[in-house]
Amino acid sequence: MKRRSFIKHAGLAGVLAAGTAPAFAQASPEVKWRLASSFPKSLDTIYGGAETISKRVASATNGKFQIQVFAAGEIVPAFGVVDAVQNATVECCHTAPYYFFGKDPTFAFACAIPFGMNCRQQNSWMYHGGGLELMHDFLKGYNIISFPAGNTGAQMGGWYRKEIKTVADLKGLKIRIGGFAGTVLAKLGSVPQQIPGGDIYPALEKGTIDAAEWVGPYDDEKLGFYKVAKNYYYPGWWEGGPELDLFVNDKAFAALPKDYQSVLTAACYEANIDMMAKYDAVNPPALRRLVANGVALRPFPREVMQACFKAALEVFDETMAKNAAFKKVYEPWKKFRDEEILWMSVSEKNFDDFMIGATRSAPAAPAKK
C-alpha cells in the first residue's frame, strides 16, 4: 500500500498510534513550544501526561514540532500556569483546571466538582455531550483553548491523623484540599488549604495540617503520606473522575499549521486514555503495599457523605445565584450527569456488583503440584 494511501485510510489517530511520522512533516516548519506543568517530575503518572503529549507530537512530525516540558516551579509555580498561558509566557500548560477555582468556579467543570461524574462519564460529556464547547466558550475570556489530556479516575478521600467517625469530626479539621471541595467542607467547619503536591508531605509531617488528599494509592505512596498519617479514607467524593487538561494559548494554537493542530489534538486524546489506563494498572498493587505497611483503609461514614452531599448542593445554588458563567455550564452538566448515572445504574453497577461478589466468594485456585 502506498504511504499516502495508508495515511488517508488509516487516519491521523492510526498514524500516531503506529508511531509513524507522516510525509507532510518533511516540509513543515520547525515549531518549539514550552509547556508548564502543575506537577512534580516524581509523579510519573500525572506529570507523565505532559511527557506523553510531547513525545507523540515530536515523533509524529519527525521532530519538527517540539514541546519542552517543565515541572512545577521550573518556569512558574504550580498554580501560576494559567496566567503564564493567558499572557503567552508559555504556549501551553498541563494542569488540573479546578486549581483555578479562585479565578472562577467554572474552571472546575473541566476537571471535577463534588459528586460529579466518573472518568467515562466525564469523557462522554466532554466529547459528545457539549462539555468541550461550553468550556471553550468560557475559556475564550482567558485566551485559552483546552483539550482533555488525562484522568485519574475516582480518587481516594485522603490521609487523616485521626478517624472521621461523625460529621462533628470535620469541625476545625485543617485539610489540604482546594476548590469546590474546600468550600463544601468549610460549610461543615473544616479549614481547607490549597498546597501544591510537592509541599503536602512536610505540611502533614509538621502538623501544619491534620489531613491531606492527593490522588490515589500509587501517587500517595510515592509521596510518603502513609508515614505520617495512617487513616486512609475513601471515596474522594469531590473527584469522581477528575480530568487533566492541556491549556493552550489561543493565538499560539491558531498560528500552528493545520496538520500540527491535528497532531496536538490527537496527542491529547492519547494522553487522556493512557493516564487512566496506567492508574488502573498501578493502583491495585500500591494499595496492597500500603495496607501491608499498616495503613487503615476506611470508608467515609454514611452520615458524613450525606452531610457533604447536602452542603455541596447548597454551594452549587449559591454559586449559580452570583455567577452566570457557572450557571450556564452547571445546568446542562447536571442534566447530562443525571442521565449517565441512570444508565450506569442499569449497566455498569449491576455488572460490577455481581463481579465483586463473585470474585470474593470464588474458591481459591488449586495449588500447583
The pLDDT tens digits of the residues spanning 110-165 come to 999 999 999 999 999 999 999 999 999 999 999 999 999 999 999 999 999 999 99
Q: Which residue has the cell 500509587?
A: 218
pLDDT confidence bin for 360, thresholds 50/70/90:
confident
Question: Which domains can be identified in the chain, with CATH numbers?
Answer: 3-152+241-281 (3.40.190.170)
CA angle in degrees (0–180, nearest 5) for 93-129-305:
80
H-assigned helices in 140-257: 179-187, 200-206, 217-223, 250-255
Banded pLDDT at 363 (limits 50, 70, 90): low
**pLDDT confidence tier of residue 365, bands split at 50, 70 and 90:** low
Average pLDDT, integer, range 67-81: 97
For 147, phi then psi, to 5°, come to -140, 125
Q: What is the pLDDT of residues 35-66, one digit of tens each?
A: 999 999 999 999 999 999 999 999 999 999 99
pLDDT for the residue 27: 74
Query: Which cell is 55 given?
Result: 513525545
Which three cell numbers mark 246? Answer: 492541556
Report, as an integer, the average pLDDT of 339-345: 97
CA separation for the pair 321, 158 (Å, rounded): 31
First to last CA, the chain: 52
Q: What global pTM score does this model have?
A: 0.90
Confidence of residue 364 (pLDDT cuts 50, 70, 90): low
Angle at 174 between CA 170 and CA 178, to 5 degrees: 95
Cell 513525545, residue located: 55
- Which residues on adjacent β-strands are paired with residue 245? 95, 148
Q: How confident is the model at residue 178 (pLDDT cuts 50, 70, 90)?
A: confident
Pairing of strands 211-212, 174-176: parallel
Task: Say how far apart CA 162 and CA 151 lie, in whole Å.
Answer: 29
Cell digits of residue 178? 482546594
Find the DSSP H helices in the chain. Answer: 3-18, 48-60, 81-86, 119-128, 131-139, 179-187, 200-206, 217-223, 250-255, 258-292, 302-322, 324-346, 348-361
**Which three cell numbers mark 260?**
500540527
Assess contact for 240 and 112: CB atoms under 8 A.
yes
Torsion of CA 104, 203, 305, 324, to 10 degrees: 0
What does the pLDDT read at residue 367? 58
* pLDDT at residue 262 in the model: 98
- Summarised one tens digit per residue, pLDDT across range 295-336 is 999 999 999 999 999 999 999 999 999 999 999 999 999 999
Nearest of 266, 249, 256 to residue 92 by alpha carbon = 249
Burial class (CB in 10 A: 0-12, 13-18, 19+), 219: buried
